[in-house]
Structure 1
């Protein structure tokens, strides 16, 4: 019974984690890592600590992608430090509403910060906003890839029977 419950909990948390990569306010890849650790603690023979370590490496990569994506995208499109800060602030506000509000908050945050704080032209501010949106999309794709790799590592490690 413990085995069925543990597998159900692990897989449910991982599926919610995948949804959390794109849905605001869910911790995404963190849920996948927590699921793997819980599985290891409840069924120690199923999963090695090496597998947990590899899963944690991709979790860390997803965090870097999450933080860096919007900032790098904004910068690549000519945004300033103000644009990066505005994009992050706009995303923080948008996260409480919906996925479209998150993207729009990121764009408008970058545009407003560039216009009001960096004294950029309308065209430069808009370009920075587009960069912020592009960075958000790229970081979401990268986090989604990390989530799928984390789940694949978990499944390979648990179903292969190889223990390290």
Structure 2
């Protein structure tokens, strides 16, 4: 296999990774990082400069975005510290707990349902009635915030992944175009 064929295969893997970033629980940035690493090693880091290194760091940081976005969403919708903690615990339990039970959708459902249930339970079990609002209503509002935050995090991750692929292609294409 020549370099040009390998290049397009790796760009295809990166595109798949960019789509994976938009779907909760799917490997996205890890596929892009792996493709960049393979290309870098095979070409002995030719064409790999600051833009690719920044993209590499950005993709590593994006792993935390999904977790932080659920936390942020819960906080913006009025969740207490217990609701925010419940959202984080629910996220982890949702990913790990639903995976064996639902092999085709476990992590995806876990990322959406886990924080929702965790924030709801954290709020409901620790809140008192506030200004005529029931505990269930306050807990539901906080739970919705976690889902909104999680979806926003996936969108941001997706945009970062698309930018990463574009920067990779723009940075490495001059090298590939000169190959025989």
Given that 1:39 and 1:47 are in contact with CA atoms closer than 8 Å, whether structure 2 keeps it comes out as: no
Q: Which residue of 2 aligns with 1:44?
A: 44
Q: Which one of 78, 94, 111 corresponds to residue 120 of structure 2?
A: 111
What's the TM-score once normalised by structure 1's chain length? 0.84
Q: Which residue of 1 aligns with 2:81?
A: 81
Give the aligned length: 161
The one-character-per-residue Cα deviations of 1:43-68 (angstroms, maximum 9, x if unpaired) are 23652232321212321442342231
Q: Which residue of 2 aligns with 1:144?
A: 158
Unpaired segments ≥5 residues, structure 2: 100-105, 129-134, 176-180
Q: Please tell me whether Structure 1 or Structure 2 has the larger radius of gyration of its CA atoms.
A: 2
What's the TM-score once normalised by structure 2's chain length? 0.77
Task: Report the Cα offset of residue 69 of structure 1.
Answer: 0.5
Superposition RMSD in Å: 2.4
Residue pairs, 1:22-37, within 5 angstroms: 22-37=22-37
The one-character-per-residue Cα deviations of 1:24-55 (angstroms, maximum 9, x if unpaired) are 54331122122112111112365223232121
Q: Name the CA shift for 1:99/1:45 in 2 (closer, same or farther; >3 Å).
A: closer
Structure 1 window deviating more from structure 2 (152-161 vs 134-143): it is 152-161
SS of structure 2 residue aligned to 1:13: helix
Q: Which residue of 1 aligns with 2:11?
A: 11
Task: Report the Cα offset of residue 5 of structure 1.
Answer: 5.0
Structure 1 window deviating more from structure 2 (31-40 vs 92-101): it is 92-101
